[in-house]
Structure 1
Amino acid sequence: MTTIASESLLDKSPGRSCPLHYRYDPSVFNCTPMPELTELDVLYVAGGLYGNVFALDAIESMFASEPGNKRLIFNGDFHWFDAAPEIFGEIEAGVRRHLALRGNVETELASDDSDAGCGCAYPSWVEDGVVERSNLILQRLRSCLTENIREELQSLEMWQVASVGHRRVGIVHGDAQSLAGWGFAQEHLQDVHHQNTVANWFAAAQVDVFASTHTCLPVMQAIGQSKQSGWIVNNGSAGMPNFEGNPAGLVTRIAAHPYGGRASLAHVETNGLHMDLLAIDFDQAKWQDMFLSMWPTGSHAHHSYWKRITQGPGYRPSQVVRH
């Protein structure tokens, strides 16, 4: 295991630690997809919805317009800002209309153990204040739980495999080793030595693509130099802006045929697959009003996220696709 992958093992503090039960071996992906995820024409993967009901509605509308055998899967952290029981319930019901994996948020909500905090396994570049506030956000979110929802969250898997256009796609929240792993973060993928580690993950997993989220910024990264290179497609966040000056969330589309709309902000065509990051268009004013009703000025989520929600991060679409 590289230094990058091991970073969260060294810090046992809440919000930075990576619990043992979050982990799995990359070889688990070398399996047969379940029937619902077999021989798909179109796969949508929506990670980091973060309780944004308007983004949820927009994703479902986009997905409904797609032809063929299709599936939409929410790969974790669909809860986060939805700190009002009625909004929390709306997100839960919407996600349950489709397939879902649990992220660290859902895992920690379903747990009685607070040692992991928010379960984010934040790397060292994330300041302590962000980590502390995330732990407190998770604590507040627990007030929205019912026993039935807790049991539903506990039942969710950490990963899945799909076949799209005769290619295999591993679907994760974090990376190929951990539900909260940062191995598919755009920052880590700039490291050549780490790319070698990721190439070994692909070899063990026997997938052509990993679709991920968790690390907050989008990236489409080739692993390897041949036409058979593996690809990581990380959508960043479905429920928050991903680019400076652009308020849209992003959803991953992986398909056997090209995307026919105008929402693609990044595109890769490889080995018979068409992969896009699609902009999610929703009413920003209504979403910001809803956010403020739950997280007013001075609250933990407002402190950590309001600037990103209103201005976007310092990141550009030109930084996303990397060969």
Structure 2
Amino acid sequence: MSEPTARPGRSCPLRYHYGPRAIAQAPLQTAHTLYVAGGLYGNTAALAELLRMAAAEPGATLIFNGDFNWFNVRDADFAHINHAVLRHQALQGNVEAEFHTPGDEADCGCAYPAAVDEAVVQRSNAIHRQLKATARRHPELLHYLAALPMVARFQVGEARVGVVHGDAQSLAGWGFDAQALQAADAAQRYAPWFEQAEVELFACSHTCAAGMAVYDSDRAVLNNGATGMPNRAGDLRGLVSRIALTPSPHPVWEEERKVAGAYIALLPVAYDTAAWAADFSAQWPETSAADLSYGRRMREGA
């Protein structure tokens, strides 16, 4: 249960907190090509394109770092998304973590900051309430989702990578928001997180706004924004983070950099937007909570 003073959609539950030292304790897994897909949001078309991209690189490791559920309120879509994700590595996002709260509590677990309008928060809680009802009809999948970790750590060549949903402190932390990544004091603020987590790179999502920043040439943060939603105006593609020993065979979003011996980039996920528009509208018709919050973004870009 959330803390007694918690405000649904605004607060960050205590169980979400882990801290950077917990990341350092995660098993160090080896990968030569790592795809980090945060915020799939139940987009089946984006899932298909993402799997195609990863399959084009034999031996690539794919990890879904949370919030792979959101718009998939139909039972068939919920089952399809989760069965596919669980064939790969995955972390809990706040969407998945809140499936396991008791009763019919309406809390998306987003920990929205004050700058986000209250109407947006309430609609997110309403979306999660409907999704949670669907999830409860799939107890076997919920069992597996409940066992997912909140953090992971990989070794890609010389680079150690901390994979989180939010930030180095918390599952729903906003410390790696796109604007925060570019702040003048970012390198200084993040230095203890890199050191305590024992990583050179962080890969995250959660804030739904993409960004990549390199600090002192040997540290970087990649925030892919959303794999299953547009990330800028006029561009309907999703994004995925790629960290690898070799340059990307796919187009990159802005630029590819070499940091700590690894090539890093955000890659566009050019899914079938017409198919997804039809799928989204079928589950979330006009004036529904999801349509009001996300419909324009789906049609026009972020």
Q: TM-score range by the shorter chain?
A: over 0.9
Asked if residue 198 in structure 1 is aligned to residue 187 in structure 2, the reply is: no
RMSD over aligned Cα atoms:
1.7
> Secondary structure of the residue that 2:277 maps to in structure 1?
helix
- For structure 2, the 5+ residue unaligned runs are none
Alignment of 1:206-221 (within 5 A): 206-221=198-213
The offset of 1:148, in angstroms, is 1.2
The residue type paired with residue 200 of structure 2 is D
CA distance in 2, matches of 1:72, 1:160: 12
Name the structure 2 match of 1:281: 270
Asked if residue 293 in structure 1 is aligned to residue 285 in structure 2, the reply is: no
Contact 1:13/1:116 (CA < 8 Å) preserved in 2? Answer: no
Deviation per CA, 1:149-180: give whole Å up to 9, x if none.
Answer: 22111111000000111210000000000000
CA distance in 2, matches of 1:303, 1:116: 18
The offset of 1:52, in angstroms, is 0.3
CA distance in 2, matches of 1:121, 1:127: 13
Q: Higher mean Cα deviation, 276-285 or 71-80? A: 276-285
Contact 2:153/2:161 (CA < 8 Å) preserved in 1? Answer: yes
The residue type paired with residue 71 of structure 1 is T
Q: How many residues were matched structurally?
A: 297
- Of all paired residues, the percent bearing the same amino acid is 43
Out of 209, 214, 218, the position equivalent to 1:222 is 214
Out of 2, 11, 14, the position equivalent to 1:20 is 14
> Secondary structure of the residue that 2:255 maps to in structure 1?
strand
CA distance in 2, matches of 1:206, 1:99: 21
Asked if residue 257 in structure 1 is aligned to residue 257 in structure 2, the reply is: no
CA distance in 2, matches of 1:261, 1:134: 33
CA distance in 2, matches of 1:21, 1:261: 38
CA distance in 1, matches of 2:251, 2:165: 27
The residue type paired with residue 138 of structure 1 is H
CA distance in 1, matches of 2:276, 2:26: 39
TM-score by length of 2: 0.94
Contact 1:26/1:204 (CA < 8 Å) preserved in 2? Answer: yes
Asked if residue 102 in structure 1 is aligned to residue 92 in structure 2, the reply is: yes
Alignment of 1:293-312 (within 5 A): 293-312=282-301
- For structure 1, the 5+ residue unaligned runs are 1-8, 314-323
CA distance in 1, matches of 2:173, 2:106: 14
Name the structure 2 match of 1:176: 168
Name the structure 1 match of 2:76: 86
> Secondary structure of the residue that 1:192 maps to in structure 2?
coil
Asked if residue 124 in structure 1 is aligned to residue 118 in structure 2, the reply is: no
Structure 1 144/116 Cα, relative in aligned 2: closer, same or farther at 3 Å?
Answer: closer
Structure 1 154/207 Cα, relative in aligned 2: closer, same or farther at 3 Å?
Answer: same
Contact 2:105/2:129 (CA < 8 Å) preserved in 1? Answer: no
Name the structure 2 match of 1:63: 54
> Secondary structure of the residue that 2:62 maps to in structure 1?
strand
Structure 1 245/93 Cα, relative in aligned 2: closer, same or farther at 3 Å?
Answer: same
TM-score by length of 1: 0.88
Name the structure 2 match of 1:318: none
CA distance in 2, matches of 1:85, 1:217: 28
Structure 1 303/116 Cα, relative in aligned 2: closer, same or farther at 3 Å?
Answer: closer
> Secondary structure of the residue that 1:156 maps to in structure 2?
coil
Structure 1 32/178 Cα, relative in aligned 2: closer, same or farther at 3 Å?
Answer: closer
Name the structure 2 match of 1:73: 63
Asked if residue 160 in structure 1 is aligned to residue 152 in structure 2, the reply is: yes
CA distance in 1, matches of 2:251, 2:220: 23
CA distance in 2, matches of 1:177, 1:306: 31
CA distance in 1, matches of 2:86, 2:26: 23
Asked if residue 33 in structure 1 is aligned to residue 27 in structure 2, the reply is: yes
Contact 1:33/1:163 (CA < 8 Å) preserved in 2? Answer: no
CA distance in 2, matches of 1:144, 1:198: 38
CA distance in 2, matches of 1:78, 1:293: 19
> Secondary structure of the residue that 1:187 maps to in structure 2?
helix
Name the structure 2 match of 1:320: none
Name the structure 2 match of 1:53: 44
